[in-house]
């Protein structure tokens, strides 16, 4: 009895092999298992190694077969669940984006077939050259101007730091326009995320030698938790406008050659630094690289954040609806910005909605969108309602992830006529089902602290009629 078994198995194996080769011969192509060198390395180099390499954000490098092979099964799981690479836009309900780093269906299938086929190495000769990464600035050349944080900030070995706020003066005397901006953390091991804004400072306030804002009463703000108004809220500073942010995997904003981000003379650069101590006393001085537009800028790139008017020349203030009910405001006299009295998110609310409805009062061109919410953020969707009533979803992020503050840059800029409305439909999950939720039993307030909530459907656009003619262009070879 015992001897028969191996013979039977052997016979079956031979029979199976014959059947398989017969089928493939008829189909005209052998069912080849993809190999690492030929099929997988090109995908990994193109879509993964920007983060999965030594010194970068991901905890493991994927540069060689030896690096990747032990992760094969996990890679398949993460890739098929669309959890890697991080990219939140649902391709079926969104327009196309020029910075889309998600995998195509074909790439996903290739990875799955490689893993299912035993994740073979393949021929060494098929291996593509390893990608070269710029050691310095991503844009490939030195910036026209590098601005530094005003101080080398000391970070203790441990503890929790609030978001640190520093200010430095914009060092030119005429407004200038930036085509490309990049934040380079000074010390990657401690910079968790960073944001750079241009702001005015309140009357009577000044910046001290530590780069801190000191108000008219002489009280210095050190971090957002003890800011000017007890809870300093930078978007409440007059003229606040976001330049860009840095999070792992994001830190360069490259705009179109004829569209510029205005960096006005006389304003201040506000550095918002979030540090995670790494067990050793250390320091950081992050930098902002600026590449000016080299050709005539025709339009200024504007960023709309919640509470702003859209086209600032003609009003057009947003309405907000919380769970369907209109939200009240306290209007700031003479300002285009209003403070909404948004109700708290109740404890355990699982699918709490906040929708901003922004009237478009002039023809605009829309370039990019960037959802910003905090730990209860669940989803955010941009819908355009045209004057004829037609609705178009242009970006749907069904599973918002606080860890990835992604900017979605439209492949084709979108013309939106006056009379349209832009809806930003946000959902929040304050229930225990949300794995990031620190306290489902508590109501959630609106503030900049990550344990409170925010609703910021950042939208980048220009106003078609606002054509620039007299801006300073950096003339270079
Ligand atoms: C924008 C940066 C970024 C890109 C691009 C990226 N990853 Fe990741 N990846 C991370 C980070 C950060 C982590 C660790 C934190 C986490 O798991 O979310 C990670 C973790 C992983 C893990 C481990 C998950 C676990 O459970 O331990 C796998 C597998 C993975 N990535 C695969 C990939 C593959 C395959 C690609 C390309 C197709 C890719 N990643 C692209 C940043 C990135």
pLDDT tens digits for 324-340? Answer: 998 876 655 555 555 66
Q: Counting beta carbons within 10 angstroms of the beta carbon of residue 325, is it exposed (0 to 12), middle (13 to 18) or buried (19 or more)? A: exposed
- Give pLDDT, residue 394: 98
pLDDT at res. 163: 82
Nearest Cα residue to atom 20 of ligand 1: 58
Please check the confidence at residue 289 and state whether its pLDDT lies above 90.
yes
Rg (CA), the chain: 26
d(CA 190, CA 299): 37
- In this predicted structure, the answer to whether residue 14 has a pLDDT above a threshold of 70 is no
Task: State whether the beta carbon of 88 lies less than 6 angstroms from ligand 1.
Answer: no
- Is 52 touching ligand 1 by the criterion CB < 6 Å? yes
Is the model's pLDDT at 3 over the cut of 60? no
* Calpha distance 228→270 (Å, rounded): 14
How much is the pLDDT for 201?
Answer: 86
pLDDT in the model for residue 200: 87
Cα(400)–Cα(376) distance, integer angstroms: 9
- Give the atom of ligand 1 at the shortest distance from the alpha carbon of 43: 38
Ligand 1 near 57 CB (within 6 A): yes
CA of 17 to the centre of ligand 1 (A): 37
Q: What is the dihedral of CA 104, 460, 297, 334, to 10 degrees?
A: 180
pLDDT at residue number 434: 95
Least Cα distance to 288 among 303, 276, 266, 273 occurs for: 273
| pLDDT for the residue 2 | 38
pLDDT of residue 248: 72
Tokens coding 103: 């995998």
The pLDDT tens digits of the residues spanning 429-471 come to 999 999 999 899 999 988 766 677 888 888 899 989 888 876 5
CB proximity list for 18: less than 8 A, separation 6 or greater: none
Q: pLDDT (tens digit, 9 = 90+) per residue, 70-105?
A: 999 999 999 999 999 999 999 999 999 998 999 999
Q: Among 58-72, 126-140, 263-277, which is the least confidently predicted range?
A: 126-140
CB-based contact 234:165 (threshold 8 Å): yes
**Separation CA 138–CA 476 (nearest Å):** 20
Mutate to test the pocket of ligand 1, among 52, 57, 403, 435 (most ligand atoms within 8 A of CB): 52
Tell me how far apart the 2 most distant CA atoms of the chain are, in Å: 97
Tell me, rounded to whole angstroms, the distance of Cα 184 from its chain centroid: 15
Rounded Cα gap, residues 110 and 106, in angstroms: 6
Query: d(Cα 202, Cα 224) in Å, to the nearest integer?
Result: 16
**Ligand 1 proximity of 122 Cβ (cutoff 6 Å):** no
HSE value, Cβ hemisphere, 13 Å, CA-based, for 438 = 8
CB-based contacts of 16: which residues, under 8 Å, 6+ apart?
A: none
**Average pLDDT, stretch 192-206?**
88
Distance, in Å, from the CA atom of 19 to the CA atom of 13, rounded to the nearest integer, reads: 10
Q: What is the pLDDT of residue 250?
A: 77
Read off the tokens for 130: 């390893």
Predicted pLDDT of residue 228: 34
**pLDDT of amino acid 235:** 44
Distance, in Å, from the CA atom of 96 to the CA atom of 394, rounded to the nearest integer, reads 9
Distance CA 248, CA 54 (A): 14
Mean pLDDT of 104-133: 95
Residue 104's nearest CA partner among 48, 49, 43 is 43
Structure tokens belonging to residue 104 = 């195509």
Q: At 315, is the pLDDT very low, low, confident or very high (cuts 50, 70, 90)?
A: low
Cα separation values, 93 from 88, 206, 349, 382, 414, Å: 11, 47, 26, 10, 16
For residue 454, count other CB atoms closer than 10 A to its CB.
18
Ligand 1 centroid from CA 85, angstroms: 6
> Are residues 311 and 182 in contact, defined by beta-carbon separation less than 8 angstroms?
no
pLDDT for residue 189: 83
Give the Cα separation of 194 and 273 in Å (integer). 5
Asked if residue 82 has its Cβ within 6 Å of ligand 1, the reply is no
Residue pair 30/1 in contact (Cβ under 8 Å)? The answer is no
pLDDT tens digits, 222-242: 654 433 333 334 444 556 678
pLDDT at 385 > cutoff 70: yes
Ligand 1 centroid to Cα of residue 28, in Å, is: 37
Of all protein residues, the one whose alpha carbon is nearest to atom 29 of ligand 1 is: 75
Average pLDDT, the chain: 83
What's the pLDDT at 307?
54
- The CB of 47 under 6 Å from ligand 1? The reply is yes
Query: What is the predicted pLDDT for the residue at 435?
Result: 92
pLDDT at residue 311 above 70? Answer: no
pLDDT of residue 59: 85
Probe ligand 1: pick from 51, 105, 407, max atoms within 8 Å of CB?
A: 51
Q: Which residue has the tokens 């092979």?
A: 69
Burial label for 42, CB within 10 Å (0-12, 13-18, 19+), is middle
Q: Dihedral of CA 411/413/415/419: which sign?
A: positive
The two three-digit tokens of residue 355, written as one number: 């929708």
Quick one: average pLDDT of 184-192?
Answer: 89
Rounded to the nearest angstrom, the gap between the alpha carbon of residue 459 and the centroid of all alpha carbons in its chain is: 12
Distance CA 264, CA 275 (A): 28
Statement: residue 259 has pLDDT above 70? yes
**Which of 217-221, 411-415, 456-460, 463-467 has maximum average pLDDT?**
411-415
Of the pLDDT bands very low, low, confident and very high (cuts 50, 70, 90), residue 424 is: very high
The residue whose CA is least distant from atom 16 of ligand 1 is: 58
111 lines ligand 1 (CB under 6 A): no
Model confidence band, residue 320 (pLDDT cutoffs 50, 70, 90): confident
| Token output for 417 | 């006529």
Q: How confident is the model at residue 310 (pLDDT cuts 50, 70, 90)?
A: low
Residue carrying the six token digits 């992604």: 406
Residue with tokens 């508590």: 442
Residues 6+ positions from 236 with CB-CB distance below 8 Å: 229, 337, 339
Question: Is the Cβ–Cβ distance between 198 and 241 less than 8 Å?
Answer: yes
At residue 210, the pLDDT reads: 92
User: pLDDT band at 8, cuts 50/70/90?
Assistant: very low
71 lines ligand 1 (CB under 6 A): yes
pLDDT category of residue 288 using cuts at 50, 70 and 90: very high
Over residues 279-286, the mean pLDDT reads: 96
Give percent above pLDDT 90 in the chain: 53
- Give the pLDDT band (50/70/90) at residue 365: very high
């Amino acid at each position: 009895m015992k001897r028969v078994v191996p013979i039977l198995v052997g016979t079956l194996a031979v029979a199976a092999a014959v059947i398989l080769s017969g089928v493939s011969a008829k189909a005209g192509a052998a069912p080849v298992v993809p190999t690492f060198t030929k099929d997988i390395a090109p995908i990994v180099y193109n879509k993964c190694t920007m983060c999965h390499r030594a010194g970068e954000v991901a905890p493991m490098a994927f540069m060689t077969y030896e690096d990747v092979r032990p992760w094969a099964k996990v890679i398949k799981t993460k890739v098929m669940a669309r959890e890697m690479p991080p990219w939140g836009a649902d391709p079926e309900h969104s327009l196309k984006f020029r910075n889309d780093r998600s995998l195509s269906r074909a790439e996903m299938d290739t990875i799955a077939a490689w893993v299912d086929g035993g994740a073979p190495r393949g021929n060494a000769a098929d291996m593509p050259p390893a990608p070269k990464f710029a050691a310095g600035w991503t844009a490939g050349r030195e910036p026209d101007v590098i601005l530094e944080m005003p101080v080398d900030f000391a970070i203790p070995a441990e503890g929790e730091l609030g978001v640190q706020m520093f200010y430095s003066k914009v060092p030119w005397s005429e407004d200038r326009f930036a085509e490309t901006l990049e934040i380079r953390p000074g010390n990657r091991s401690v910079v968790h995320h960073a944001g750079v804004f241009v702001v005015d400072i309140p009357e009577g306030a000044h910046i001290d030698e530590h780069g801190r804002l000191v108000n008219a009463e002489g009280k210095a703000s050190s971090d957002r938790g003890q800011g000017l108004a007890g809870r300093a809220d930078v978007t409440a500073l007059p003229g606040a406008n976001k330049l860009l942010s840095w999070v792992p995997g994001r830190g360069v904003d490259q705009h179109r050659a004829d569209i510029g981000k205005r960096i006005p003379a006389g304003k201040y650069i506000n550095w918002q630094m979030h540090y995670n101590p790494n067990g050793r006393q250390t320091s950081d001085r992050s930098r902002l690289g600026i590449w000016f537009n080299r050709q005539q800028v025709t339009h200024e790139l504007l960023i709309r954040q919640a509470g702003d008017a859209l086209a600032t020349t003609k009003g057009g203030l947003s309405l907000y609806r919380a769970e369907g009910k209109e939200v009240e405001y306290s209007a700031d006299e003479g300002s285009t910005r209003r403070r909404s009295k948004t109700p708290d998110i109740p404890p355990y609310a699982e699918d709490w909605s906040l929708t901003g409805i922004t009237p478009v009062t002039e023809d605009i061109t829309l370039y990019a969108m960037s959802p910003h919410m905090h730990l209860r953020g669940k989803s955010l969707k941009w819908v355009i309602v045209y004057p004829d009533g037609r609705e178009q979803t242009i970006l749907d992020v069904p599973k918002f992830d606080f860890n990835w503050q992604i900017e979605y840059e439209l492949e084709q800029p979108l013309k939106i006529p006056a009379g349209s409305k832009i809806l930003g439909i946000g959902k929040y999950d304050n229930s225990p089902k949300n794995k990031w939720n620190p306290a489902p039993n508590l109501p959630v307030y609106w503030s900049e602290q990550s344990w409170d909530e925010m609703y910021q459907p950042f939208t980048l656009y220009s106003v078609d009629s606002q054509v620039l003619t007299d801006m300073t262009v950096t003339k270079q070879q």
